[in-house]
Amino acid sequence: MSSTLLEVENLSKHFESGGGFLRGSTKTHAVNDVSLDVQEGEVVGVVGESGCGKSTLGKSILRLHEPSSGRVTFDSKDITNLDPKGLRDVRKDMQMIFQDSALSLNPRLKVSRIIDEPLREHSTMSREERRHKVSELLEEIGLKPEHSERYPHEFSGGQRQRIGIARALTLNPRLLIADEPMSGVDVSVQAQLIKLFNELQDEYNLTYLIITHDMNVVRYMTDRVVVMYLGEIVERGPTEEVFRDPKHPYTKALLSAIPTPGKESGDRILLDGAVPDPEDPPQGCSFHTRCPEKIGDICEQQDPAQFDVNGQHAKCHLYDEP
């Protein structure tokens, strides 16, 4: 019996930019009215092209960005308005793995101090115990204990990403939010990392929220997937179903872009134009400017609701008819 570990309700994050004296500011809707839930022990993927707000979503959940509106509930506790002290406690259970390990590890600190940081902040262990824990974690992620005395730049991209994972694991969190964990490394290393993620999940009883633009990562790792476009969720459902029978035209285009041996590239659905400026999103359905299956004026005038199509949810007027 699984229970809901993380619940995000109508989360929005707007950034204001360009404001100044006598000058109006423009609002960018990075994340717009997003709702999703993650069950304990589950792997949920958030997928979408760059700039669609998926990283902002991840950071807003952890409150690394303050959400503009909406609610985040973790383990049946509303964390949206938690005071700094309460937030600090919650963050022990929710850790993040960052996209670029070259940036997320302080180049001036030795690996031992990097992995040790969460322990220094939260645990009551002695120095000796902490050293021991760091060695243990290094072995866990496939590095040697003697690597703890080196600096991040002495490692390869894949190894650095592992160090980032070790740091996230130190406090035995329940939820790991991984922001593009595979994007900085090549394919063979990706495979190793996916294997590591799977092993760690079994061992530590982890729940993952994986943010990625790579449909293959989604396919191999996730149980359920959420597809984002221009800050909104356009489709969500069980990964297998979504891959077998995508409902939203955008998801169809994304899936057709995965190169498959034997498939003609002519079968690809090519989207016209570029992603609209998020500072000035289109009226109606945000996807109508590029949608190959546009059905008429309704797409340009009315923002579609999320429609339930056999357990999958799609935000598209195609499914409006009863």
Partner 1 sequence: MKTRNTFYDVVDKRFLLGLYRRINSVVKDVMRTRKGRFGLVTIVLVTAIAILAPVLAPYDPASQNLTARLTSPNTTYLLGTDSYGRDILSRIIYGFRISLLIGVVSVGVGVAIGTIMGTVSGYYGGWVDEIIGRLIDIMLAFPFLLLALIIVAVLGPSITNMMIAVGISAAPQFARLARGDALTASEKEFVTAADSIGRSHFSIIVEHIIPNIFTSVVVMATLYMGRAIIISAALSFLGLGVQPPTPSLGLILADGRDFIALAPWITIAPGLAIVLVVLGFNLLGDALNDALDPELQTGDKLQ
Q: Among residues 102 and 191, whose Cβ is nearest to partner 1?
A: 102
Instruction: For Cα atoms 164, 178, 229, give the angle at the middle one, nearest 5 degrees.
Output: 145
Q: To the nearest whole angstrom, how small is the minimum distance from the Cβ of residue 142 to partner 1?
A: 12
Q: Of 18-26, 73-81, 125-133, 255-263, which part binds partner 1 (CB under 8 A)?
A: 125-133
Residues in the interface with partner 1 (CB under 8 A) total: 39
Q: Among residues 59 and 313, whose Cβ is nearest to partner 1?
A: 59
Q: Among residues 105 and 233, whose Cβ is nearest to partner 1?
A: 105
Phi, psi of 10 (to 5 degrees): 50, 40
Q: To the nearest whole angstrom, how small is the minimum distance from the Cβ of residue 87 to partner 1?
A: 7
Are 143 and 92 contacting, i.e. CB atoms less than 8 angstroms apart? no
Q: What does the per-residue mask of binding to partner 1 show for 163-182, with x meaning CB under 8 A?
A: -x--x---------------
Q: Which of 104, 100, 123 is nearest to 114 (CA)?
A: 104
Q: Among residues 180 and 214, whose Cβ is nearest to partner 1?
A: 180
Sign of CA dihedral 123, 125, 127, 128: negative
Q: Cα–Cα distance between 169 and 88 in angstroms, integer?
A: 16
Among 16, 78, 136, 154, binds partner 1 (CB under 8 A): 154
User: Which amino acid is residue 208, in one-letter code?
Assistant: Y
Q: To the nearest whole angstrom, how small is the minimum distance from the Cβ of residue 53 to partner 1?
A: 17
What does the radius of gyration of the chain's CA atoms come to, in whole angstroms? 21
Phi-psi label, residue 63: left if phi above 0, alpha if psi -120 to 50, beta otherwise: left
Among 22, 24, 83, 126, binds partner 1 (CB under 8 A): 126
Among 19, 103, 260, 295, binds partner 1 (CB under 8 A): 103
DSSP annotation of 20 reads B
Residue 256 CA: distances (Å) to CA of 116, 123, 219, 246, 264: 44, 48, 14, 10, 10
Q: Among residues 159 and 207, whose Cβ is nearest to partner 1?
A: 159
For partner 1, the binding residues (CB under 8 A) are 59, 62, 64, 87-89, 91-92, 95-96, 98-100, 103-109, 117-118, 120-122, 124-127, 147, 150-151, 153-156, 159, 164, 167
